Each structure stands twice: as C-alpha cells, then as structure tokens.
Amino acid sequence: MKAVVYTKYGAPDVLQIKEVAKPTPKDNEVLIKIHATTVTSGDWRVRSLQMPVGFGLMARPIFGLFRPRQPILGTELAGVIEAVGKDVQKFKIGDPVFAFSGAAMGCYAEYKCMPAEGAVLPKPSNLTDEEAAALSFGGTTALDFLKRANIQKGETVLVNGASGGVGTAVVQLAKYFGADVTGVCSTANLELVRSLGADHVIDYTKADFTKNEKTYDIIIDVVGTAPFSRSKDSLNAGGRLLLILSGLPGLLLAPWVSMTHNKTVIAGPAAERVEDLRFLATLAESGEFKPVIDRCYPLEQIVEAHRYVDTGRKRGNVIITWS
C-alpha cells in the first residue's frame, strides 16, 4: 500500500510517498481503507520538532531521538471497513467510519488497523468523508478544555485564535453549551467566525482584546499569544484561562496562579476519550457541529499541504484525500 513516510525531522520536503506493507487486523481489530485524513498543527510540530517554548528537549525522547519513531504521521481519518478480526462484532465490511489514532498517528496511509472497541465510530451520515476526517483532532481538544473549565450556560467566553481547526471547534461547542462567545481572528476570517455562531468578533489587526475594558468568564488561547500575564485583567473573578497552546512556563505557572489569584489557568495536553468522539458524532448528526474545511489536497500534494499548514494561516482544517 501507499503511505506518506518521513525518516528525518524537518521541512515538508522530508515527506515521501512510498510502498509499505499492508497491515493485517488482529482478532480484535478492524482494517480501515482510508478515504481522507488531515494535516493538523500537531502533524506540523511532530514533523518539524518545532515545539512550544520549553518542550524542545522533551520532544526527541518521545518521538524519536535521531529519527522519527513513528514514520507515518496523521491522527484522524475517515474511510470504510475493509476487513475485521474474528472477534469483532461491532463492525462489518463496508461500514463507513471515522477514527482518531491520536498520539499513535499512522493515518497517512491507504489502510490502518485499529482496535474495534477503540476510537473508531460510525461516520455521521450527513458528513462527507472530508468533514468526518476532520471531526476528531479539533473537536476533542476543544471539548476536553471546555469540560475542564466546567463551562456554564450564559457565561462569557473569548476565543483567541477562533478561525483554525481547534478554534472553529471551540466557537461551535461553546455556543452549544450556551455561552456568549467572542471570537478573535484576522480581518479575512471575521465572517467565517460569525457564521459559526460567534456573538461578537474582534479583528486582532485593529484592536487588542486586553485593552477594551471588557472581561470574560473564560478566555481560551488557541494560538499561544494570550498568556496569563496578558489576559489576567480581562478575566472576571473566578475566571478561567484555557491555554490550549502553551510553553512549559505557562504550564508550570498554572498551579501557582490558582493558589494566589481568584482565577484559574488550565493547561496541558487534551485527553483522548472515545466518549468525546461519540458526543461529537451525535452533535454532527444533529447539525449542531460541523468541521470547517479550508482546502483539500490529493495525496500527491502532501508536501504542498504541509507547506500551507506551516504558514499558520489555515481556516479550519486541511484535508488529504486518498480516493
């Protein structure tokens, strides 16, 4: 089968399309023929090893000291069941599914095996393969942080970086939970963020949300430009700052802030839970959540897709199609 492989860290050109062995499902696994996958900010960071401040030295032991331990990137997919292990009752051949491999990666391939009882679910019938492939990474990240913040109906929420893959998910989910949402983005993305349900938008090229004298119950920093030192005066008493993207200093500061202020900083990696995927699929089926698609690239243009994501200017999600 074809797969996108990289054997060294670096720019998008390290990615190569190669023939590799097609996997065979174990007794409790399904083999998925992949129709679509995504290029996320996580893929960019693991490929390039450009990590938030303080995490650079930790990255190589995790992902591979001298070369990538997992040579196939990609954390989410949509496709159909190609084969099932003998103990699998949940799926049958031909079932359309979406799946989230998360930190295990491996979705830049024609086929992937995954545990049938793991993060593999029926594809929402009203989503395309491209949309379903983009359901997991941004959605689970957004949902995990909003749960950790214990978001409540009627609270005021500001999303700093509201137009990317995670940001567009945060806006939609915060609205679903009944919040009054303000999205911060560039001029070009104001209408997109409004269309997702944001009650207010701020163009960061023209205004600084920390200087408008407005305060919020929750501030969500998706892009790493609103640390506590900058955001604290924009938080209400009892407010929560969610650092979805943060360097090591922000992570280490979080417990101290919670002990010394009447505000809380929530940071650290998002959890990967099957129940969160199931919740997102239910919202997608009802039309209350829909992944935003920026661009679709065929497999042969995987390097160009990564180059585009490297710019940091994508709107929503970037898709790679295999069929």
SS (H, E, C) 171-226: HHHHHHCCCEEEEEECHHHHHHHHHCCCCEEEECCCCCHHHCCCCEEEEEECCCCC
Q: Which are the contacts of 57, defined by CB distance < 8 A and separation ≥ 6?
A: none
Distance CA 17, CA 60 (A): 24
At 61 the pLDDT is: 86
Neighbour count for residue 211 (Cβ, 10 Å) = 9
Question: What is the DSSP-derived secondary structure letter of residue 12?
Answer: G
pLDDT at 255: 74
User: Strand, coil or helix: what is 17?
Assistant: strand
**Is the domain defined by 142-267 classed in CATH 3.40.50.720?**
yes
- Alpha-carbon distance of 56 to 49, in angstroms, equals 7
Both ends of the chain: CA-CA distance in Å? Answer: 13
Domain 2-135+291-321 of CATH type 3.90.180.10: yes
Give the C-alpha distances (Å, rounded to integers) separating 125 from 96, 122, 243, 259, 287.
9, 8, 33, 47, 11
pLDDT at 66 (0 to 100)? 87
Identify the pLDDT of residue 262: 85
- Residue 91 has phi, psi (to 5 degrees) of -130, 160
What does the domain layout of the chain look like in residue ranges?
A: 2-135+291-321, 142-267
Per-residue pLDDT of the chain (323 residues; tens, 9 = 90+): 999 999 999 999 999 999 999 999 999 999 999 999 999 999 999 999 887 766 677 778 888 888 999 999 999 999 999 999 999 999 999 999 999 999 999 999 999 999 999 999 999 999 999 999 999 999 999 999 999 999 999 999 999 999 999 999 999 999 999 999 999 999 999 999 999 999 999 999 999 999 999 999 999 999 999 999 999 999 999 999 999 987 666 666 667 677 777 899 999 888 999 999 999 999 999 999 999 999 999 999 999 999 999 998 899 999 999 86
